[in-house]
Structure 1
Amino acid sequence: MNTSIVIADDHPLMLRGLTDFLTSRGFNIVGSAQDGSSAYNLIVKLKPEIAVLDIQMPNRTGLEVAEAVFKNNLNTKVILITFDKEEELFRQAKAFNVYGYILKEFAVEEIETCIEHALNNRPYFSEEIASLLSVSDLDNKPEGLNLLTKAEFKIIKLIAQNKTSQEIADELCVSIKTIHKHRSHIVSKLQLDNKPASLSIWANVNKYHF
């Protein structure tokens, strides 16, 4: 597998546990840190494919590292792990286009699946995190959703199911070029950025509106 990964967590047991588990699963742990500043320096220096970061760390939080990775257009895909179940933290993470957001209590069960999703430009969020979205928020449809055509709406529902463009094309019996064209139109209507995972992240976070 040899996927390069940096792991950061200020809890030594959690750091060691994740490192040992992912190493046993064939991943290449190229660096580890116990604070956010060290983690970010490792990301800049080693350019790992994946960074698994605890949200609450000294010197720099996992969210702050994710923000720096996002704003500096680094290619490392960030996965955040946390004990917190606060909706606001999740929304901040979403704004920085993280590829994963999982609860520590499910980390061992979900981290490998999350990494595999990230490597395929498909974000992964713990189901329990998604369920934290408030009822009041669910009542307010995201801006731009009403601008989608029936075909685009069907496609975004399939994207929310973590299906690839090729899988969607096969299911709808159209060409991959048609799906790419629809995706481009959807991104424009929803006013998303052009990063590969932006639409998938948006669809996963807002799938309760579909």
Structure 2
Amino acid sequence: MATRRLLIVDDDPAFRTVARALLDGEAFQVAGDAATGSAALAEVVRLRPAVVLLDVQLPDTSGFEVCPALIRAGAAVVLTSVREAADYGPLVERCGARGFIPKRALSAEELTRVLDTV
């Protein structure tokens, strides 16, 4: 399996560190991270990741609002939150994200499963 370049977007530096430790390896290469939606847009252009792991709640915007622009820049987006997908109703599907992973369930295997589910 090819390694996919990944951008982690979350305003919590501790979560970004944990996510990097969980995901950087055989399946994913963490190319960088960002703490805001605007920084994510800049980093997706600069780093050209294949995948963006995107927190739903960011300090300057919501993941749902920035998701379409990240997709237009060429990345597959998977949303994450401390809440469950059901808490957001149809917003996950409407924004164009490939899927959703609760933060408590984050792993390279789960991210791969979400990305590879058609």
Normalising by structure 1, we get a TM-score of 0.50
**Residue 35 of structure 2: aligned partner:** 34
**Residue 20 of structure 1: aligned partner:** 21
Q: Residues 100-111 of structure 1: matches in 2 within 5 Å?
A: 100-108=99-107, 111=108
Structure with the bigger percentage of helix:
1
Matched residues in 2 for 1:7 and 1:64: separation?
16
**Residue 91 of structure 1: aligned partner:** 90
Structure with the bigger percentage of strand:
2
Normalising by structure 2, we get a TM-score of 0.83
Unaligned runs of 5+ in 2: none
1:5 aligns with 2:6: yes
Deviations 1:20-72 (A, max 9, x none): 121144521111011111012111222211000111111122112213234xx
Counterpart of 1:105 in 2: which secondary structure? helix
Q: Residues 1-210 of structure 1: matches in 2 within 5 Å?
A: 1-70=2-71, 73-85=72-84, 87=86, 89-108=88-107, 111-118=108-115, 120=116, 122=117, 200=118
Q: CA deviation at 1:103?
A: 1.0
Letter in 1 for 2:75: T
Higher RCO (C-alpha 8 Å, min separation 6): 2
Counterpart of 1:37 in 2: which secondary structure? helix
Matched residues in 1 for 2:38 and 2:7: separation?
13
% identical aligned pairs: 24
CA RMSD of aligned residues (A): 2.1
Number of residues of Structure 1 aligned to a counterpart in Structure 2: 117
Matched residues in 2 for 1:17 and 1:82: separation?
14
Counterpart of 2:60 in 1: which secondary structure? coil
Deviations 1:149-189 (A, max 9, x none): xxxxxxxxxxxxxxxxxxxxxxxxxxxxxxxxxxxxxxxxx
Aligned 8 A contact 1:50 1:78 in 2: yes
Aligned 8 A contact 1:66 1:93 in 2: no
Counterpart of 1:69 in 2: which secondary structure? helix
| Distance change in 2, residues 1:69/1:90 (3 Å) | farther
Aligned 8 A contact 1:33 1:39 in 2: yes
Bigger radius of gyration among the two: 1
Aligned 8 A contact 1:7 1:33 in 2: yes
Return structure 1 stretches of 4+ with deviation > 4 angstroms: none
Q: CA deviation at 1:86?
A: 6.5
